[in-house]
Each structure stands twice: as C-alpha cells, then as structure tokens.
C-alpha cells in the first residue's frame, strides 16, 4: 500500500509491508525473545534498568518524532543510563563507522524513549512539555534529565530499510531537565528569529559549522522557520529534508565552477556496505545505483537527476539518495569544481537497517581518500568492474546516466 506525506513543500513516498525487511518475519509477531538480532544482545540491554516509572539518565541529546498517524505524532526525548561521556556518542553519526554492527545496535536499543502524542502545529504555541523537548533539542552536549512515565517501558524490535530501530519506550507524563542545556550562538540566533525561513535557518547553521544532526533535531521539533508556519516534523522526514536543502544550495554553487579534468573513482567499505563514487568531467548530473544482495532483485535500484529535467522525489532510492548526494556536492564545493557523479552502493548480507547516516558517512570517508584517475569512461568502468561484486554489465544496464553520457560522447 503506497503512502505519501507532504510538509513545507517537501514530499516523501514509501511502501508499507507486513514483514521485516531483515529476517522476513511478520512484523506483528515481533518480540525481543524471538528476534534473532535483539535476542543475541539481550544480555547487554538490561531492560530491567527501566522498570521504574521515574527514570533518571542522560540524553545525548535526542528527541524522536514518529510518523505514524501524522499530523498527530508521538514525540519525546530519549535518555540512557550510561556514563555521560559515552552517551554523547549515541548522537554522533560521524564517529559511528568505528563501531561494529552489534555495538551500534546496542547503542540504539539502550536508549529509553518517552513519548507523548501531539499535533504537529503544537510547535507554534507549545505546552510546557513540548517546550522542554525543544530546550533539550537546542543543546549541543548531553543533558541530565528525569522522565516520569505512565507505565513500564516495553521493547519491541522493529527494523525498517531507512529508519534506525528504537529502544524501550513508554507514554510520557513529564520530563525535567536537571541542568541547563549548552546552546551555541548560531543555534540561539536561528531559533529566536521567527521571521527567518526554515531553509535559510538550516543553511545559516550549516555554514556556521553546526553539526548536521543538531540542525536536523531543531527542524524536527519545530524550532525553525517563520513563527506561524513552524511544525513538528517526523525524524525520518527531517533527516532527508535537511540533506536535500543543504544539497540544493551546494548544487547551485557547484554548477558555476569549471569541470574536473578526468574521470575519478573513489571507494570505501564499512559495516557490510560498499560505496564507489565515479566523478565524470561533464556538467552536473547525478545518479545513485543501489543493490541489496539480500533482496530478490536482478538489477540495482536507480534514481537520477539532470538539470534540464523537472525536480522529482527519488522513489526507488528514497532518503538514501539525498544522503549520498550531499557528500559529493560538499567535495566538489570544497574543490571549486563541477562534475557529473554516479554512486554505486552495494549492501551485503549481515547489514541491519540503522538509518541512512551510514551512506552519508561512508561516502564522506570515500571522498576523503586518494582517488584513482582515468582518462576515458571505458577505463573508469574497467576499474570499477574490478572493485564491484555485481557485474559491471548489470550496473550499466540499470544506469540512465551512463547510457546518456555514452550517447553524448558518440555525438561529439
């Protein structure tokens, strides 16, 4: 069944299924005792730590907004009973490539989420509870907090292709921050300016060096934009929206720069994900090809953009498209150069869906390493052929951009 969401001009589409994309079991039957991935970590999770209705801990800081039932959604903070210096890692995506799958899963499941159902327009005239969520979201460092829950929390494993799993959760009565949040000046300025459009606020903070996860969190809890237009936005949509907004701004810059001088191939592999990026000496165009070895598909999924074509949502790749486009544009912007780009993504068995952050960070890592250069497209594809597990013929068959560029080369 297709579902479609729109907020602030941004559109997201997806497909709901009644089975887990990881183990292929029925989602309605999910229990920690039967989930093969959560079960092996049961000795680490210690859910009994969260059996009291009053819970004191540290928030990374994290405020999670669900999408079910939009425009009335579950929103609330997450806290951990780990040491404060460790909790900060739970919201620092750029450092997650250093951890194993089990460690990342444990980090996600160790967070207790309190949730309160509310309408998304509550961001405009927030209650005291919503204000406390927003105060927490403004912090750049972990914050001590205390939550009072309506009932004991429960843990239900739930894996989705693009969304990270959620730890134990329970309805929330109230939350109290037991220390003052640390709020950077660029954040305070963007939040307090109620005449500043959300797009401009996001770009202003990004250019000031504010971490992207922090910007996304502020956008999600409805702290950015013109006062009477602010909304609470589901976390998953916020991640993609911020990637898209920053990417479009960088794309305008990049399209003014001169072309690179040859074909460049970058690559990196981590956490059962392998990414190769091919930069081509042509005007900006972009394509993502993604192949999941655990999925019954003969060819990679594909989406692309071309300056002469109307803007459209990448229905096949989804939010992962914007997550890998941003690092490519950051790389070209830093070099003051323009190129076309094709991203090849291979997802191997053993990967658990923990969010699209890993594609963004693996791409950034790949582009930070010395590339291999080629003088022709055929030479570049030959190099890629030796590095990709799936045959290069299947990648080229799925690629619109490669076919287009080969046609252009023949015309020239």
What pLDDT does 63 receive? 95
Please write the tens of the pLDDT for every residue from 285-319.
999 999 999 877 899 999 999 988 888 999 999 99
pTM, two decimal places: 0.90
Average pLDDT over residues 371-395: 97
Q: Looking at domain 257-411, which CATH architecture does it have?
A: 2-Layer Sandwich (3.30)
E strands in 41-194: 54-65, 72-80, 112-119, 143-149, 169-177
- Residue pLDDT, tens place only, 105-157: 888 888 899 999 999 999 999 999 999 999 999 999 999 999 999 998 887 76
Instruction: Using the predicted structure, report yes or no on whether residue 284 has a pLDDT greater than 60.
Output: yes
CA dist 349 and 291 (Å) reads 11
Give residue-wise pLDDT tens across range 159-215: 655 556 777 889 999 999 999 999 999 999 999 999 999 999 999 999 999 999 999
**Parallel, antiparallel, or unpaired: how do β-strands 340-347 and 286-292 relate?**
parallel
Q: Distance between CA 319 and CA 275 in Å, rounded?
A: 16
Question: Which residues, in sequence order, are CB contacts of 166 under 8 Å at separation 6+?
Answer: 64, 108, 111, 113, 158
Query: In the chain, what are the domain boundaries?
Result: 2-244, 257-411
Residue pair 13/319 in contact (Cβ under 8 Å)? The answer is no
Query: How much is the pLDDT for 50?
Result: 64
């Amino acid at each position: 069944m297709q579902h479609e969401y729109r907020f602030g001009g941004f559109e997201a589409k997806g497909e709901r299924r009644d089975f887990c994309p990881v183990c292929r079991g029925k989602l309605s039957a999910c229990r920690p005792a039967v989930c093969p991935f959560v079960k092996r970590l049961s000795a680490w999770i210690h859910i009994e730590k969260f059996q009291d209705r009053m819970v004191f801990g540290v928030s990374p800081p994290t405020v999670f907004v669900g999408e079910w039932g939009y425009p009335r959604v579950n929103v609330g903070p997450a806290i951990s009973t780990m040491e404060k210096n460790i909790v900060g890692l739970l919201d620092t995506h750029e450092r997650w490539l250093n951890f194993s799958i089990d460690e990342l899963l444990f980090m996600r499941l160790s967070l207790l989420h309190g949730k309160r159902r509310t309408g998304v327009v509550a961001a405009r005239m927030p209650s005291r509870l919503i204000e406390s969520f927003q105060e927490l979201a403004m912090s750049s460092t972990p914050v001590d907090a205390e939550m009072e829950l309506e009932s004991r929390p429960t843990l239900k494993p739930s894996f989705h292709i693009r969304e990270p799993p959620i730890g134990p959760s329970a309805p929330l009565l109230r939350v109290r921050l037991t220390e003052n949040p640390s709020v950077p000046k660029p954040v305070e300025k963007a939040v307090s300016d109620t005449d500043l459009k959300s797009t401009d606020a996001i770009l202003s903070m990004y250019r000031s060096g504010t971490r992207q996860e922090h910007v996304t969190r502020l956008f999600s809890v409805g702290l950015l934009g013109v006062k009477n237009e602010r909304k609470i936005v589901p976390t998953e949509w916020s991640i993609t929206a911020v990637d898209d907004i920053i990417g479009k701004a960088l794309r305008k810059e990049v399209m003014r720069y001169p072309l690179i001088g040859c074909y460049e191939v970058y690559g990196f592999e981590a956490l059962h994900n392998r990414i190769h990026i091919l930069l081509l000496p042509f005007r900006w165009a972009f394509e993502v090809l993604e192949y999941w070895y655990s999925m019954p598909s003969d060819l990679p999924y594909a989406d692309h953009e071309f300056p002469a074509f109307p803007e459209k949502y990448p229905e096949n790749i989804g939010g992962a498209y914007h997550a890998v486009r941003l690092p490519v544009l950051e790389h070209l912007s830093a070099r003051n150069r323009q190129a076309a780009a094709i991203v090849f993504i291979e997802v191997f068995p053993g990967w658990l869906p923990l969010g699209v952050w890993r594609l963004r960070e693996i791409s950034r890592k790949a582009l930070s390493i010395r590339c291999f250069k080629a003088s022709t497209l055929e030479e570049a594809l030959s190099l890629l052929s030796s590095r990709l597990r799936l045959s290069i013929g299947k990648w080229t068959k799925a690629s619109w951009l490669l076919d287009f560029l080969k046609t252009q080369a023949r015309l020239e």
